[in-house]
């Protein structure tokens, strides 16, 4: 069998000055940073759906990229060709993980038993390919949004039969994830939401989603899933209102239904901005709540109101994101999954390689700059000093929850009027960030 990416052997680190288009400028996989190699900080993953499946089809036109990999689309031979192409690609780029939906691996059949048989066959083939490599599954998931049966949702559906199919799909996706050594399992609530309250029982739907997640948790644990179940928040698209709007909403949901010790968050950059947040905000909310799990790495376009899933290149954002990741203690079993796709006119295999070089370099830069920002210390010092008035006896009493409203009111009345708090120094701190990035 010939190679799919025969124009490269191995993409290597050549340094910031290289003009070789097929080399990393910043991603130096084995370089030690804070006691571990870059590759272990970043844990890059390839998303099966975008890299091996998406051919540029959009609402206005057909695909521009050939993702048949030399086989007839929709056949098992095609599914195997995708595996071959994917492993060659990951090896050549030095990517150690992949993520998948069930239907990314094989085409869905009319009968679920046939689909499951195909999944057994392809997962055997993937296991064979994994053999002798250090490539592993980061997480798996079930696509419960494409098939028309899920038009009213999966966990939130109005049909008890469709609910059973959702359960069956999750069970099989969990089986395959565990079989491929994946530690985490993702729930992205694609159609778990609604368009109008006129036809929706919101409470009923949310309770059913929680029940489905509880059953998935119990089954996953029973077959040895060790890592996290992850919720991937997204505010809208395809639905107008999605129940997992953002990290804070999803965390509240998990706590309400007692799922918070098995679930954490998979934060996608583009979903954060669709929710009106920054990527780093979503990461900070997760860390503050002990819910930081994994990341879907991409970026949106601030001029567009939808999920463009672009390869990340904005180094301000990757720096501020990696700062949050480092502060959260780094990835344990999660990683940086490129849920990113080439732009429609970037339709060649070379473009796939350029896209990953761009994204991996952007996060490598983000990591090194985030470390510099932490080592520089001025941001952390400023923050410590900003809240220093709480370091005294009174502040401590408030922090310990031992003060009363009456007591504080008495103190305030005795003071008559407080001094204004010290400046927030935003422009100074933004200058520090620029100095660390470009100085």
Provide the binding-site residues for ligand XLS, judged by CB under 6 A. Answer: 101, 141, 186, 188, 232, 234, 268, 296, 307, 339
Contact 294, 334 (CB under 8 A): yes
246 contacts Ca ion (rule: CB under 5 A): no
Q: How many CA within 13 A on the CB side of residue 127?
A: 13
104 contacts Ca ion (rule: CB under 5 A): no
Q: Which of 84, 102, 104, 339 is catalytic?
A: 104
In the list ligand XLS, Ca ion, none, the entry touching 340 (Cβ below 5 to 8 angstroms by class) is none
Specify the stretch interacting with Ca ion by CB under 5 A; choose among 248-256, 296-304, 324-332, 386-394: 296-304
- Least Å from the CB of residue 357 to Ca ion: 21
| Strand bridging mode 241-242 / 263-268 | unpaired
296 contacts Ca ion (rule: CB under 5 A): yes
Quick one: 46 exposed, middle or buried, by C-beta within 10 A (0-12, 13-18, 19+)? Answer: buried
- Using the rule CB under 5 A, which residue among 268, 280, 282, 361 binds Ca ion? 268
Angle of CA points 308, 191, 98, to nearest 5°: 55
**What Rg do the C-alpha atoms of the chain give, in angstroms?**
24
Residue closer to ligand XLS, measured from CB, 30 or 301: 301
Q: Which of 41, 50, 78, 101 is catalytic?
A: 101
- Least Å from the CB of residue 340 to ligand XLS: 10
- Least Å from the CB of residue 87 to Ca ion: 22
271 is catalytic: no
Residue closer to ligand XLS, measured from CB, 84 or 232: 232
307 contacts Ca ion (rule: CB under 5 A): yes
Taking 3-state DSSP, the helix, strand and coil percentages for the chain, each rounded to the nearest 5, stand at: 50, 10, 40
In the list Ca ion, ligand XLS, none, the entry touching 26 (Cβ below 5 to 8 angstroms by class) is none
**Separation between Cα atoms, residue 176 and residue 369, nearest integer Å:** 38
- Cα separation values, 25 from 149, 341, 361, Å: 46, 21, 6
161 is catalytic: no
Residue closer to ligand XLS, measured from CB, 115 or 143: 143
The residues in 338-397 that bind Ca ion, with binding defined as CB under 5 A, are: 339
- Least Å from the CB of residue 146 to ligand XLS: 10
In the list Ca ion, ligand XLS, none, the entry touching 141 (Cβ below 5 to 8 angstroms by class) is ligand XLS
Residue closer to ligand XLS, measured from CB, 84 or 307: 307
- Least Å from the CB of residue 54 to ligand XLS: 10
* SS3 label, residue 409: helix
Convert 360-376 to b/e letters by CB count within 10 Å (16 or more is b). Answer: bbbbbbbbbbbbebbee
| Count of residues near Ca ion by CB under 5 A | 5
**Separation between Cα atoms, residue 350 and residue 93, nearest integer Å:** 12
The maximal CA–CA distance of the chain, rounded, in angstroms, is 84
282 contacts Ca ion (rule: CB under 5 A): no
CA of residue 212 relative to chain centroid, distance: 21
**Separation between Cα atoms, residue 104 and residue 330, nearest integer Å:** 29
Residue closer to ligand XLS, measured from CB, 38 or 173: 173
Angle of CA points 234, 366, 330, to nearest 5°: 70
Question: Which residues, 6+ apart, have CB-to-CB distance to 132 below 8 Å?
Answer: none
Question: Hey, CA dihedral for 218, 164, 257, 272, is it positive or negative?
Answer: positive
- Least Å from the CB of residue 397 to Ca ion: 44
- Least Å from the CB of residue 233 to ligand XLS: 10
Specify the stretch interacting with Ca ion by CB under 5 A; choose among 141-149, 262-270, 408-416, 429-437: 262-270
Residue closer to ligand XLS, measured from CB, 24 or 188: 188
The residues in 19-58 that bind Ca ion, with binding defined as CB under 5 A, are: none
**Separation between Cα atoms, residue 357 and residue 93, nearest integer Å:** 8
The residues in 311-340 that bind Ca ion, with binding defined as CB under 5 A, are: 339
Residue closer to ligand XLS, measured from CB, 84 or 244: 244
Give the residues lining the site for Ca ion (CB under 5 A): 268, 296, 307, 309, 339
Please give the positions annotated as active site: 101, 104
């Amino acid at each position: 069998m010939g190679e799919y990416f025969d124009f490269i052997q191995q993409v290597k680190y050549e340094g910031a000055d290289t003009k070789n288009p097929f080399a990393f400028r910043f991603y130096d996989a084995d370089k030690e940073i804070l006691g571990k190699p870059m590759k272990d900080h970043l844990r890059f993953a390839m998303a099966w759906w975008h890299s091996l499946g998406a051919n540029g089809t959009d609402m206005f036109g057909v695909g521009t990229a050939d993702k048949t990999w030399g086989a007839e689309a929709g056949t098992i031979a095609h599914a195997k060709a995708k595996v071959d192409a994917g492993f060659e690609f990951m090896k050549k780029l030095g990517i150690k993980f992949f993520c998948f939906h069930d239907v990314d691996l094989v085409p869905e059949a009319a009968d679920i038993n046939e689909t499951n048989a195909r999944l057994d066959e392809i997962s055997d083939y993937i296991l064979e390919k994994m053999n002798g490599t250090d490539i592993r599954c980061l997480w798996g998931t079930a696509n419960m949004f494409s098939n028309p049966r899920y038009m009213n949702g999966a966990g939130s559906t109005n049909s008890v039969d469709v609910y059973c199919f959702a359960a069956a799909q999750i069970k099989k996706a969990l089986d395959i994830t565990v079989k491929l050594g994946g530690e985490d399992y993702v729930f992205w609530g694609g159609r778990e939401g609604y368009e109008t309250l006129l036809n929706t029982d919101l409470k009923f739907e949310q309770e059913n989603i929680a029940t489905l997640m509880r059953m998935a948790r119990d089954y996953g644990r029973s077959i040895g899933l060790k890592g996290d179940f992850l919720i991937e928040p997204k505010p809208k698209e395809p639905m107008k209102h999605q129940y997992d709007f953002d990290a804070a909403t999803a965390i509240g949901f998990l706590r309400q239904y007692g799922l918070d010790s098995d679930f954490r968050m998979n934060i996608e950059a583009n979903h954060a901005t669709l929710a009106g947040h920054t990527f780093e905000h979503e990461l900070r909310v997760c860390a503050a709540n002990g819910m930081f799990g994994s990341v879907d790495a991409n970026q949106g376009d601030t001029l567009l109101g939808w999920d463009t899933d672009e390869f990340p290149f904005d180094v301000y954002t990757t720096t501020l994101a990696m700062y949050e990741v480092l502060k959260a203690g780094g990835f344990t079993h999660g990683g940086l999954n490129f849920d990113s796709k080439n732009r429609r006119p970037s339709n060649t295999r070379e473009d796939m390689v350029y896209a990953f070089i761009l994204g991996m370099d952007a996060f490598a830069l983000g990591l090194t700059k985030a470390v510099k920002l932490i080592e520089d210390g001025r941001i952390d010092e400023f923050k410590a000093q900003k809240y220093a008035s709480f370091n005294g006896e009174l502040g401590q009493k408030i922090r310990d929850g031992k003060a009363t409203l009456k007591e504080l009111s008495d103190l305030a009345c005795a003071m008559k009027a407080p001094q204004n708090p010290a400046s927030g120094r935003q422009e100074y701190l933004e200058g520090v960030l620029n100095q660390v990035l470009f100085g």
